[in-house]
């Protein structure tokens, strides 16, 4: 069993001794499991204060690079990429346009929903095949935006929505 023992300074500045019994190394971090752990933990190499045992087993700069996290696409990026392949929205039985608001805090969403109702739109809570508009805020999830695009909905932000209800023109 290859043991790696080191003193580690965590994000709060506390130094403690770690003894990993199973571990792997990347250029910027070490991931491993101590005897009492069920799941492995990740340790940043730049926070290791001192290696006590097993440092000769480290690859250091020869270790494979750390994986790069995938950037979460913004709703605007998703809408822009899919704009050319977007189908037309399906009309509702009564001809009333539908809108959904996503990614807003509760009070702002309620205000926007009331403005949509006053404008004559039907406010929805989930995306559907007859959705006409999806209005997104800063915390909108990409999955809901993608479902709205698949339904043929127009993806707009709050400024475009407010402009639409003031002028009656689609942005």
On whether both 85 and 53 belong to a single domain, the answer is no
- Would 81 be classed as within a structural domain? yes
**Which residues span the domain enclosing 21?**
4-62
On whether both 116 and 158 belong to a single domain, the answer is yes
Which whole number is the average pLDDT over 153-165? 89
- Would 67 be classed as within a structural domain? no
On whether both 28 and 81 belong to a single domain, the answer is no
On whether both 79 and 48 belong to a single domain, the answer is no
Reduce the DSSP state of residue 29 to 3 states and report it. Answer: strand
- Would 68 be classed as within a structural domain? no
Between strands 122-123 and 98-102, the pairing is parallel
Q: Is the overall model pTM greater than 0.75, yes or no? A: no
Q: Give the chain's mean pLDDT.
A: 85
Beta bridge mates, 4: 20
- State pLDDT tens for residues 8-40: 999 889 999 999 998 999 888 899 999 988 888
């Amino acid at each position: 069993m290859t043991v790696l023992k080191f003193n580690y300074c965590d994000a709060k500045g506390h130094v403690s001794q770690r003894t990993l019994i199973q571990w792997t190394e990347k250029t910027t971090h070490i991931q491993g499991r101590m005897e009492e752990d069920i799941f492995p933990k990740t340790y940043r190499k730049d926070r290791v204060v001192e290696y006590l045992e097993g440092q000769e087993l480290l690859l250091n700069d020869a270790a494979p690079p750390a994986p790069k996290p995938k950037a979460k696409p913004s709703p605007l990026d998703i809408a822009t990429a899919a704009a050319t392949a977007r189908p037309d929205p399906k009309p509702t039985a009564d001809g009333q346009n539908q809108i959904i608001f996503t990614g807003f805090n509760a009070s702002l969403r309620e205000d926007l929903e009331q403005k949509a109702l006053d404008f004559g739109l039907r406010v929805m809570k989930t995306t559907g095949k007859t959705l006409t508009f999806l209005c997104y805020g800063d915390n909108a999830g990409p999955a809901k935006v993608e479902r709205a695009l698949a339904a043929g909905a127009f993806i707009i932000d709050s400024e475009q929505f407010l402009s639409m209800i003031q002028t009656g023109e689609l942005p």
